[in-house]
Structure 1
Amino acid sequence: MRAIFVDCTPELARVIEQGGLPVPATVEINEGSPTEKELIDLCRGKDVILVEHTAVPPAVLDACPAVQAIVFMGTGAGTYVDLDDAARRGVKVCTTPGYGDRSVAEHAFALMFSAARGIAGMDRGIRAGTWTPAGGLQLKGEKLAVVGLGGIGGCMADLALGIGMEVAAWNRTPRDHPAYVAELDDALQGASVVSLHLSLTAETIGILDGRRLMLPNRGFILVNTARAGLVDEPALLRMLAEGQIGHAALDVFPQEPLSPASPYRELENATLTAHAAYMTDAAYKELWLRTLNAYHAL
């Protein structure tokens, strides 16, 4: 099978090269973020598309009828590929879950700490020439609501338990974990921090709506390293302005990269990172190896 990796990042390319990781002779690697036209040129005549961060719209499959499978390097493939359209064409879509559970959980943990102590705001102030020490929240003893108790959510729950937080972790299906609770509202009620670790599906879009965002303590910290669509955006922005959400620590956004007009750019009570939670050398190595396993299993 002829395959094209359409959007290898410089970081992953470095890990593959420096780590001496295998690259099958049947796999061509393209570095960068191709446009739709470039995608069509790359994928024409290929049987398999490997994709890390680029959307593959139906028009690409229209122009490349030889494609039999897409290996999405991560989870949440539906954000990048129209799964119903692919199924109608008989194009198999595979994912590579689990490669970065620890890396994403550690990033979420770092965002939580940064928000709790106002680190990003003080950093911005010092760089702008002001010196304004700010108080913060001690996390030991505070309640963390973990929304989604898969591999990443489980790591996040364990890390939080390790520093003495009270953890209530909800999942759509029961989990054998000491922090598991059966009802989402119970997990959210009275929380000082809410961290999202769900995939985005028709059932989870907007799962944190205006009503549910009122259940945690006033001034709570919202951490999102999963998908922006899990949260009702108008409610999020309104509650940040009103103080129900004290701080949003976000690695994912409705539009990426952020547009110049994005309201998130102007928020003082927000810590923003560039969809980088999974980006460690250890995670990249595991990602590539799992991608090759998925490719060879086709």
Structure 2
Amino acid sequence: MKGLFLDAVDELAAVFRHVARPGDPPMDVIERGEIRPEELPGLIAGYDFILDDHTALPTEAMRACAGLKHVIFLGTGARSYMNPEELADLGITVHTIKGYGDTAVAEHTIALMWAAARGLACMDAGMREGMWLRTEGVELTGKTIGLLGFGGIAAEVARIASGSGMRVLAWNRSPKAAPGVTFVDLDTLLAESHVLSVHLLLNDETRGFLSAERLAKLRPGAILVNTARAALVDKTAMLDALRSGHLRHAALDVFLTEPLPAGHVLTTLPNVTLSAHSAFRTPEASEKLLRMALDIACGL
């Protein structure tokens, strides 16, 4: 078995070399961030499997990738970049990796929550332009954080938030229990959360899950934090809620178009804090991620 790391950018090539072991399958590494669909057949020719960090793999382009049997996607959100079922029909199995970045994403979620609560991004931007802005922040001790979906990341968020003196509510599509977390129905979660943190997987059932109707059920003045997938939230409804003040703030790490285009409407709103899909980017998480990917490759 011979593999190709398709898009080893953002220091991932160095991490890959650090965690690779002599017994791993032979692999070549491409240190490019942008690969067009028409390039894929030529780049992938001769390889049995690929590691994919963020490159889109359209089904039509992949039809011409004869010999490829496996895609190891570096994360859980493969559906944002490919259609696993359609690739399976082509004889290509898509593997995803869970759990590698639970702590990293949870810490980033908490960081976004506090930044939103205290208006840090707005003050920082103003001071860089010579203005002395003071925002009226909100204290989160004693407030309620609601976790929309409850997997490994949400469990870490619950641990940190509970330790910060917050009440933790959660809703999950299947029954779960966790120490220090009260599981409630969806309407209760929306109505009682001062902070709503999104932790659902994206699929056909959850796309647009936070609709205008559901956003309207949020406690007025709530903070929305999304480190999961942008498509889980109705973008137009979110913008309307931000403009009206029904949402106090949105702190976002994920977007429908990435990189976020210059001048995007989200960059124009003062009650939005943005980060560049980087919640999972820590040295610790990257090392674990790539070692787990190589372990999958060893088992193919």
CA contact (8 A) 1:73 1:96 kept: yes
- Render the CA deviation track for 1:146-177: whole Å, top value 9, x for unaligned: 11110001101111111110110111112221
Which of 20-29 and 52-61 deviates more? Answer: 20-29
Question: Shift of the alpha carbon at 1:261?
Answer: 4.5
What letter matches 2:60 in structure 1? A
* CA drift at 1:216: 2.3
8 Å Cα contact 1:104/1:277 also seen in 2: yes
| Partner deviation per Cα, 1:227-260 (whole Å, 9 max, x = no partner) | 0011011100111000011111000001111123
- The aligned residue for residue 96 of structure 2 is 95
Distance, in Å, in 2 between the alignment partners of 1:69 and 1:106 is: 32
Question: 1: distance between equivalents of 2:92 and 2:236?
Answer: 36
Cα distance in 2 for partners of 1:182, 1:194 equals 13
Out of 264, 282, 294, the residue aligned to residue 280 of structure 1 is 282
One-letter code of the match for 1:271? T
Alignment partners' CA distance in 1, 2:19 and 2:169: 42
TM-score under structure 2 length normalisation: 0.95
Q: Determine the structure 1 residue equivalent to 2:157.
A: 156
After superposing the two structures, state which structure 1 stretch, 271-280 or 52-61, moved more. 52-61
The Cα of 1:272 is off from its aligned counterpart by: 0.4
Contact 1:228–1:253 under 8 Å retained in 2: yes
Structure 2: 5+ residue stretches without partners? none
Matched residue, 1:241: 243
Name 2:120's counterpart in structure 1: 119
2:201 aligned partner, one-letter code:
S
What is the aligned-residue identity percentage?
42
Q: Distance in 2 between matches of 1:190 and 1:95?
A: 34
Structure 2 counterpart of 1:219: 221
Which residue matches 2:208? Answer: 206
Q: Which moved more, 1:258-267 or 1:280-289?
A: 258-267
Paired amino acid for 2:246 = Q
What are the within-5 Å matches in structure 2 for residues 60-71 of structure 1? 60-71=61-72
Deviation at 1:67, TM superposition (A): 0.8
Alignment-mate amino acid for residue 8 of structure 2: C
> Residue 201 of structure 2 aligns to a residue in which SS?
coil
Give the counterpart letter for 1:57 in structure 2.
P
Please list every run of at least 4 consecutive aligned residues from structure 1 whose deviation after the TM superposition is greater than 6 angstroms.
Answer: none
Give TM-score, length-normalised by structure 1.
0.96
Q: What are structure 1's unaligned runs of at least 5 residues?
A: none
